[in-house]
Amino acid sequence: MKLYYAPGACSLVPHMVLEEGGFSYDSEAVDLTTKKTASGTDFNAINTKGYVPALILDDGQILTEVSAVIQYLADQVPEKNLAPKSGTLERVRLQEWLSFISTELHKNFSPLYNPAASQDMKDAAIATLSNRFDFVVNHLKDNDYLLGSDYSIADTYLFTVLSWAGFVELDLSPWPALGEYSNRIGGRPAVLSALRNEGLIE
């Protein structure tokens, strides 16, 4: 398998799952501005959607969309318990979190990165994010991880999205539980490997 990623972007999510699952894989960085891969290939020709992550499977098929890619990976290594079994209510609970993170958190960070977004748009996004952070923190009062006591692929996604707050100068100090949660996950060896592979830490 081969992962196309941009350092620190949402492609860090499958990168963390690849490491957590002990997969052997290749990876190549993509410059999202020029849409060129590190080896100079036109990324749009690899993924016509033009965005990361893109995972090339061993048979050459391309798999995109964070939530789909990480569920596919987790299902390849059931012994790692990264996702509840398909067809169970617990799996649907996982998908409920993945959908929440994707649509309520991930996409509300987009205006904060977008130089074309007005200050009003940014303020509205921050107001929505603040409300959603309240919801997450309330859940974390009784749970170490999103699915309870067990780390799962939903946590790789939330960890990555929360890491963007520092880049857009979004102050997370009103939600100290989010910092504690990120610290808990950030110490995992697989997370450190993924961050190292993306050149984000030494």
Interacting residues with ligand GSH (CB under 6 A) = 9-10, 32, 50-53, 65-66, 102
108 Cβ partners below 8 Å, 6+ apart? 125, 128, 129, 132
CB of 155 closer than 8 Å to CB of 185: yes
Nearer of residues 9 and 74 to ligand GSH, judged by Cβ: 9
DSSP secondary structure string, 147-173? TBSS--HHHHHHHHHHHGGGTTT---T
Nearer of residues 9 and 129 to ligand GSH, judged by Cβ: 9
Q: How far is the CB of 62 from ligand GSH (least distance, A)?
A: 12
- DSSP one-letter code for 106: I
CB of 46 closer than 8 Å to CB of 62: yes
Nearer of residues 30 and 190 to ligand GSH, judged by Cβ: 30
Strand pairing report for 36-37 and 26-31: antiparallel
Q: How far is the CB of 169 from ligand GSH (least distance, A)?
A: 18
Q: How far is the CB of 142 from ligand GSH (least distance, A)?
A: 28
Q: How far is the CB of 66 from ligand GSH (least distance, A)?
A: 4
Q: How far is the CB of 157 from ligand GSH (least distance, A)?
A: 9
Q: What is the 3-state secondary structure (H, E, C) of 87-136?
A: CCHHHHHHHHHHHHHHHHHHHHHHHHHCCCCCHHHHHHHHHHHHHHHHHH
The partner residues of 64 in beta bridges, in order of sequence, read: 54
Closest residue to ligand GSH, based on beta-carbon distance: 51
Nearer of residues 108 and 152 to ligand GSH, judged by Cβ: 108
Nearer of residues 9 and 185 to ligand GSH, judged by Cβ: 9
Nearer of residues 66 and 191 to ligand GSH, judged by Cβ: 66
Q: How far is the CB of 161 from ligand GSH (least distance, A)?
A: 9
